[in-house]
Amino acid sequence: MKLHVKFDANNIKVDEIISGDTAEAVVGTMQARVAKELGLILGAVVRNMSPLQFAQEATRRYNAASGDTAPVPQSCQQFLQYGVSKGFATVLEGGNGL
């Protein structure tokens, strides 16, 4: 699957094409990209999370910052579905069920 991911939150700007064979792989690529932006210490914390833990923490932080009440995802697929529904991601290829 291939997604165009675009968001700007807490001094982290992402506007790029991300692809992977599974939802976990796509979220893992997002996770690596965010970890790179965070620097050494916070980046290490993010890198040590599983893709699902990253998706859950990203959702919690988004909710806290925006006042939204998005449910914490129970899978990477749910996280990507939420991103598409909110306009943070656009499916370019594959992505069945998103």
Q: Are 9 and 16 in contact (CB under 8 A)?
A: no
Q: Classify residue 98: in a domain, yes or no.
A: no
Q: Classify residue 78: in a domain, yes or no.
A: yes
What per-residue confidence (pLDDT) applies to 8? 77
**pLDDT tens digit string along 25-76?**
999 999 998 898 888 898 899 999 999 999 999 999 889 988 999 999 999 9
What per-residue confidence (pLDDT) applies to 20? 93
What per-residue confidence (pLDDT) applies to 38? 85
- Smallest CA-to-CA distance from 74 within 56, 97, 60, 88 is with 56
Q: Classify residue 53: in a domain, yes or no.
A: yes
Question: How many Cβ atoms sit within 10 Å of the Cβ of residue 78?
Answer: 18
Q: Is residue 86 predicted with pLDDT exceeding 80?
A: yes
Q: Classify residue 32: in a domain, yes or no.
A: yes
Domain count, the chain: 1
What per-residue confidence (pLDDT) applies to 29? 93
- Which structural domain, as residue segments, surrounds residue 49? 2-93
Q: Is residue 13 predicted with pLDDT exceeding 80?
A: no
What per-residue confidence (pLDDT) applies to 14? 81
What per-residue confidence (pLDDT) applies to 25? 96
